[in-house]
Amino acid sequence: MTHPALDVPLTFPPDAPLTFSPEVVEARASGTPIVALESTIITHGMPYPQNLDTARLVENDIRTAGAIPATIAIMDRRIHIGLTDTELAVLAQAEDVAKVSRADLAVVLAAGGIGATTVAATMICAALAEIQVFATGGIGGVHKGGEETFDISADLRELSQTPVTVVAAGPKAILDLPKTLEVLETLGVPVITYGQSALPAFWSRNSGLPAPLRADSAAQIAASHQMRTRLGLPGGQLITNPIPANDEIPAETLAPLIAQAQSEADAKGIAGKAVTPFLLQRLFELTDGATLVANIALVRNNARLAAAIAREM
Ligand code: PSU
Ligand code: MN
């Protein structure tokens, strides 16, 4: 089937309301590797204007590494696969943007307005657009106290059912990492650490937990993804890429601040979708912005690895 306007072969469901940026249209036509990027990190993960600066830097890192970035967001009842610079600037400054996970995607698309996609929703949209690799900062997981609250990110189940390789710096250190690994194992999600044997913990290189799996090259990661397809196994892979040593914040420094932010969240009764943005914002304040600097460095590092993986595929 061919799109009447773009003359690009399409295999996604013909009714999926996808709009490709001009750059992504070109990449699809020429077979240039494409790396998907999420938008919740822009709207809910970082303050303006650092969010816009970071989004632009990350997109350029991907171009420099020989791939094309496709930042994914919901605008005007369409899933945008790739944003123009103007659209990126609108998104970064928009207020009251919906945080769109799997449960919200169809509802927000039908209602109209701007939506920022989480890891889970970005994976769905990337798969619809036939993009196999996606870079982010950190994925969601089992929150501390999850045995009481049942707060387990939809990102985990998405990894088990949607065939996209997600490059992250590990589950965010605000989460319960052992429980997050247990759930990923139950769901059959390969958690592959790049270049070391310890699981990284987002702002820090070492979580103190062993990585379930390890890979030392982008080619190896691409080959595992392709083997999964050949086996007919649903789902993707989680690649945990340690933050560069010069940019990390030691886990010991952060632990008491994470505990403080978490107890504030509990005292205020913060729940559901608001938990992750609240904790990230409080850590930003408690570290005088150091977590944001580290966050920017790790996303860029993930974008470079994702581009290398996309090129190998
Ligand atoms: N990584 C970041 N900052 C973020 C997020 C990830 O560095 O803000 C977002 C992602 O979109 C992820 C979401 O999917 O947080 C997880 O939210 P929750 O725990 O509510 O599922
Ligand atoms: Mn949650």
Which residue is it, tokens 């690009």?
8
Per residue in 223-247, pLDDT (tens digit) is 999 999 999 999 999 999 999 999 9
Provide DSSP, 98-153: EEE-TTTHHHHHHH-S-EEE-HHHHHHHHHHTT--EEE-S-B--BBTTHHHH--B-
Helix axes of 290-312 and 218-231: crossing angle, nearest 10 degrees: 60
In single-letter form, the type of residue at position 257 comes to: L
**258: in domain:** no
Report whether residue 153 contacts ligand 1, using a CB cutoff of 6 Å: yes
Pocket test of ligand 1: the residue of 119, 177, 247 to mutate, having most ligand atoms within 8 Å of its CB, is: 119
State residue 173's pLDDT score: 81
Q: Does residue 101 contact residue 83 with C-beta atoms inside 8 Å? A: no
CATH number at residue 184: 3.40.1790.10
Expressed as residue numbers, the domain containing 219 is 18-252+289-312
Could you tell me if residue 5 is inside a domain?
Answer: no
For 223, the 3-state DSSP assignment is helix
Active site residue 38: yes
In a domain, 58, yes or no: yes
273 is catalytic: no
Q: How many domains does the chain have?
A: 1
CA 150 to ligand 2 centroid distance, Å: 9
Q: Measured from the CB, is residue 118 less than 6 Å from ligand 1? A: yes
* Low-confidence stretches of the chain (pLDDT beneath 50): 1-8
Instruction: In whole angstroms, give the CA distance from residue 17 to residue 23.
Output: 18
Q: How many CB atoms lie within 10 A of CB 245?
A: 7
DSSP secondary structure of 9-62: B--S-TTS-EEE-HHHHHHHHHT--EEEE-SHIIIIIS-TTHHHHHHHHHHHHH
Residue 27 CB: number of other CB atoms within 10 A?
Answer: 21
CA distance 130 to 199: 29
pLDDT tens digits for range 58-110 = 999 999 999 999 999 999 999 999 999 999 999 999 998 999 999 999 999 99
Per-residue confidence (pLDDT) for residue 294, from 0 to 100: 94
Examine residue 13 and state whether it is found in any structural domain, yes or no: no
Residue 271 placed within a domain: no
Q: Which ligand is nearest to the CA of 277?
A: 1
CA of 293 from ligand 1 middle (Å) equals: 17
CA–CA gap between residue 187 and residue 196 (Å, rounded)? 23
Q: With respect to residue 276, please indicate whether it lies within any of the assigned structural domains.
A: no
At position 216, the amino acid (one-letter code) is D
CA distance 237 to 37: 16
Q: Is residue 183 part of a domain?
A: yes
Could you tell me if residue 237 is inside a domain?
A: yes
Supply the pLDDT for residue 3.
46
**Strand-strand pairing, 133-135 and 78-81:** unpaired
